[in-house]
Amino acid sequence: MGKNGAGKTTLIRTLNGLIRPSSGDVYINSENINSKSIAELSRFVGLIFQNPFHQLFANTVEEEIKFSLKNLFLNKDELQTKTNEILSNFNLDKYRDRSPLNLSGGESKKLAIASIICRDPEILVFDEPTLGQDAQEIESFIKLISSEKEKGKTILIITHNVEFAYEYIPRTILMGNGEIIADGPTQNVLNNDFLTEKSSLILPQTQQLSLALQEIGLQGIRKNISKNDIIRYLINLLKNKTISAQEE
């Protein structure tokens, strides 16, 4: 995470060779990638662009998926079955013959992700996946990344969505001015108001709430409390209040 212009997108574009570093080296699986072509790297690193329309170019949704698979040198039958499988997995069956450029924001993002995931790279890199997505779409995205994580994939996400990161991402790296300014467990990084202010983020709502509660003198709120715990805490608090009110 980090401010706009902090260098996040530039950094991830170096990961699959779209940008070559002017100094220094990039290592993927402890291998220097300087001499590898983008196409070679795309087997290991799947990069999903911020703007899906920059990623989609084929005439139909089906061809879009096929383009990714063709470069894996499958035979014709395999290609067709794999394409069908991917399309139905991502619920894109009904758009099969539509132009990718006419899809809605959510659908086109889904297609962009599908076109990368079907190549099965070890490392998935998302640039702002939650941008412009509705709640349901974000939820299905979360399901997707957790299933990919179970398969043992490495997942790297750029986001400005504090709540999303706080809930679902275990480790956060903050960037500013092309440098890493913080790296650690998400809860430690995002609950630190000095760091969040520096990278123009806001504290997660749970942290804001617990700070506000502490300010009015309530005790017993743990540091880095989770969303569910703070809800339970508040419910208990209100229950006790109503009980004592009834007693009076």
Partner 1 sequence: MSLEFLNAFRFMKKKSFLHNLDPRAKLVLALTYTINALLFNQIIPLLIIFLSLIPLVMIGRILKQWIKSIRGLSFLALFIIILNTLFISLSFAVAMILRIYIMVSAFSIFFLTVDPNDLALSLISMKIPYEFAFSFSLAFRFVPTIATEAQNIIDAQQSRGYEMQKKGFVNQIKNLFPLLIPLIICSIRRAFNVAEALESRAFGSTKERSYYYTIKYTLKDWIFTFCLLMFLILWIFIRIQFSLMPDWFLWRLPI
Q: Which residues bind partner 1 (CB under 8 A)?
A: 16, 18, 37-40, 42-43, 46-47, 49, 54-59, 67-68, 71-72, 101, 115-116, 119
Residue 67 or residue 238: which is nearer to partner 1 going by CB? Answer: 67
Question: Shortest approach of partner 1 to residue 148 CB, angstroms?
Answer: 17
The CB density around residue 185, as the number of other CB atoms within 10 Å, is 13
* Of residues 123, 118, 116, the one with CA closest to residue 153: 123
Residues paired with residue 158 on neighbouring β-strands, in sequence order: 127
Residue 49 or residue 233: which is nearer to partner 1 going by CB? Answer: 49
Question: Shortest approach of partner 1 to residue 26 CB, angstroms?
Answer: 15
Residue 72 or residue 218: which is nearer to partner 1 going by CB? Answer: 72
Q: In angstroms, what CA-CA distances link 142 with 170, 225, 226? A: 13, 21, 18
Question: Shortest approach of partner 1 to residue 94 CB, angstroms?
Answer: 22
Question: Shortest approach of partner 1 to residue 245 CB, angstroms?
Answer: 58
Residue recorded with tokens 């996400």: 157
Question: Shortest approach of partner 1 to residue 225 CB, angstroms?
Answer: 40
Residue-wise over 36-65: b if at least 16 C-beta within 10 A, else e? beeeebbebbbbbbbebeebbebeebbbbb
Phi, psi (deg, nearest 5) at residue 58 = -75, 175
- DSSP annotation of 120 reads -
Residue 59 or residue 91: which is nearer to partner 1 going by CB? Answer: 59
Phi, psi (deg, nearest 5) at residue 223 = -70, 150
Residue 50 or residue 188: which is nearer to partner 1 going by CB? Answer: 50
* Of residues 148, 141, 76, 93, the one with CA closest to residue 119: 148
Residue 46 or residue 204: which is nearer to partner 1 going by CB? Answer: 46
Question: Shortest approach of partner 1 to residue 71 CB, angstroms?
Answer: 3
